[in-house]
Chain A
Amino acid sequence: MSEPQSVTETKTESEPTTRTDATGAIDIDHLTKIYDPKGEGVVAVDDMDLHIEAEEFVALLGPSGCGKSTVMNCLAGYLEPTEGDVLVDGDQVTGPDPKRGVVFQENRLFPWKTVQENVEFGPQMRDNIEDGRAQSILGEMGLEGFEDAYPSGLSGGMQQRAELARLLANDPDIMLMDEPFSALDALTKEIMQKKLIEVWERDNRTVVFITHDVEEAILLADRVVVMTARPGQVKDVIDVDLDRPRDPEIVTTERFTELRERALSVIREEAQRALEQEESV
């Protein structure tokens, strides 16, 4: 695999431009994850390398079962790498940390807490609840008036906004998002994408965004990392050189189409390979 290395090199060149006080840089260094190492080990991720700049928005794109979620779980600290390291700002990831907030595909709002209690959960854990902060974040997410509702009383889109609000209230350096919008309808999805970009641009956070939706990846990210079929590795890294802010109409531009075709061709190749893999088993 020569591509990942070349990526790392290009990133080294750009490093001097990074602000020194920026936090949230991620280094994935020879990451390998094998499930059930004693039995017939399934290699989910194989010797993956990736550097993500502080405050960068990176999308991880790949066919299903390519180990995207495994990478995410290693970044979150839920899983320990079988080999290799995950470093954040130079420190090894050893477990979950509030600096690395996670948004799950199906929302993980605590159903027994009201929306406001959910949003205040992180601050509460550190005895650091500021009056009115939850309300202002909820207001920003368009959830004013729902403070005392339970998550079960919200629509899917509202639940996802509440989960984003809960994450923001915790002020993480890094936002890890595992297909956060894939269960939403098209219109809600578009609104959520816009909200996400808004917060990201304002708050200087690093975002790692997992998706299988090519257009979503290109629309949102600075770089799109395309992964191979299992075992997961970095297949291609696409620099998205589209100006921000990006309107949804940008999908009709020539450059967007080019980028999409490039990503799609890699994915098609990988999907085909995955299929052949399955057939040969």
Chain B
Amino acid sequence: MSTGTIDRLQRQFENGTVLPVRRVRQLLSIVGFFVLWSLLVRFEVLGFGLFVGPEQALETLLSALGGAPMTEGGATIYAHAAFSTARVVVAVALAMVIAIPLGLLIGTSRSWEDALFPGLELFRPVPPIAWVPISLLLLPSFRSGVVFVVFIGAFFPILVNTIQGVETVDHEYVRAAESLGAESRQIFRHVIAPATMPSIITGVSIGVGLAWITVVAAEMVAGGVGVGYIIFQAYRLLQTDVVAVGMIAIGILGYVSAALVHRTGHRLNRWQEID
């Protein structure tokens, strides 16, 4: 291939005009993943001999989607997914309701920052999973315990990003608002809050991601129900096809919720688009 052809192809690639080539490459990556999975199982690399191959996993997935119970006499994949989702939604909503106002308060007021932030900073480095035992002990039921752990997972990213968002608001906007006659309450509503919105959205999307990680871990320990519970339960019973289905379900749920947050954030921050 002459350099001219390479240059042309590269240019087309950069312009996105050789879409088919990109699509093929993307498809190859997915196919490659399944081939690799299949090979690892077939040649029993490491402990893969014990694990299910993609064909059987797909079969179990289809029957699960058809409404077959995940464990003998147990709930369907939909019920487990709904439970995990409900925990994430409740925990993230709680985290938002508490962390956003708290972050705005800490970010705008030095005295509140001094009064609250050092205490919160003590807990921030503790991974959410480490909260599992204490929350199971302290809270009335295992279910509320799981929600609390997930809440911890979502809380800190939202709090920290909100504080940082407030603190990085360009002070010149505040001055401009003052010179236009705005009082401090109006400045908060019309300047600080909207200027902080992109950081809040970033915090929420990190929080949602962490919430999914945390919910699975917490359910493994103390779920009774939920996708994390079913993954671990199936592992104990060596039903590796169910383990695979649970992993796929979590992947899909995480992906969909991230997309939802992204879309909502996009709508709230339309002004950031440059056209």
Q: A residues within 8 Å of B by Cβ?
A: 76-78, 95-98, 100-102, 104, 106, 108, 110-113, 121-122, 125-126, 150-153, 166, 170
Contacts and interface: CB of A to CB of B under 8 A. Distances in A.
Contacts of A78: 175, 178
A108 B176 contact: yes
Contacts, number: 70
B100 interface: no
Contact of B272 (A100, A104, A152): A152
A113 B193 CA distance: 12
- Interface size, B (range): 20 to 34
Given A102-B176, A112-B194, A153 B182 contact: no
Contacts of B173: 108, 110
B274 A121 contact: no
Contacts of A126: 181
A153 B275 contact: yes
B164 to A, nearest CB: 18
B172 interface: yes
Contacts of B186: 125
A175 to B, nearest CB: 11
A76 B177 CA distance: 12
Given A110-B173, A111-B272, A102 B194 contact: no
Interface string B160-191: 00000000000011011111111100100011
B178 A150 contact: no
Contact of B178 (A95, A113, A152): A95
Interface string B251-275: 0000000000000000001111111
B179 A121 contact: no
Contacts of A122: 180-181
Contacts of B190: 110, 113, 121
Contact of A112 (B176, B182, B195, B275): B195
B270 A96 contact: no
B179 A112 contact: no
A101 B195 contact: no
Listed residue (B179, B191, B270) with the most chain A CB atoms within 10 angstroms of its CB: B179
Interface string B139-173: 00000000000000000000000000000000011
A122 B274 CA distance: 25
Contact of A100 (B176, B177, B179, B269): B179
A78 B195 CA distance: 21
A170 B180 contact: yes
Contact of B273 (A95, A106, A125, A152): A152
A207 B100 CA distance: 42
Contacts of A98: 179-181
B191 A110 contact: yes
Given A150-B270, A152-B271, A121 B180 contact: yes
A110 B194 contact: yes
Listed residue (A101, A121, A122) with the most chain B CB atoms within 10 angstroms of its CB: A121
Given A110-B191, A112-B197, A125-B183, A96 B175 contact: yes
A110 B189 CA distance: 13
Interface string B16-43: 0000000000000000000000000000
Interface in B181-212: 181-183, 186, 190-191, 194-195, 197
18 contacts: A76-B179, A96-B178, A97-B179, A100-B179, A104-B176, A108-B176, A110-B177, A110-B194, A111-B271, A122-B180, A125-B180, A125-B182, A126-B181, A150-B273, A152-B271, A152-B272, A152-B275, A153-B274
A121 B177 contact: yes
Contacts of B175: 76, 78, 96, 102, 108
A153 B274 CA distance: 6
Contacts of B177: 110, 121
Contacts of A113: 190, 194, 271
Contact of B179 (A102, A110, A152, A153): A102
Contact of A104 (B172, B195, B197): B172
Nearest to A117: B190
Contacts of A153: 274-275
Contacts of B176: 102, 104, 108, 110
Nearest to A153: B275
B181 to A, nearest CB: 3
Contacts of A108: 172-173, 175-176
Contacts of B272: 111, 152
